[in-house]
Structure 1
Amino acid sequence: MDNYNPLDPAGDLFGPPALSTLVACLHCGQEYESYRIEWRVETNADGKPHGFWCCPVDGCDGMGFGFDIFPIDAEYRDEHGELMWVSDAEDEDADGDALFIDDVDALEPGEARRPTADDSDEPLTSTFAL
Structure 2
Amino acid sequence: MLLGAGIMFHHVITINRGTGFQIRVFLLIVGVLSLAIWAHIKSGDSALHQIVFGSMVVTVGFRTFKLMKTMISNRDMRSNLRRLATWGYVVLTAAYALWLVDVFLCQHLRAIRRSIGLPLAWLFELHGW
Could you tell me the TM-score, scaled by structure 1's length? 0.23
Could you tell me the TM-score, scaled by structure 2's length? 0.23
More helix by share: 2
More strand by share: 1
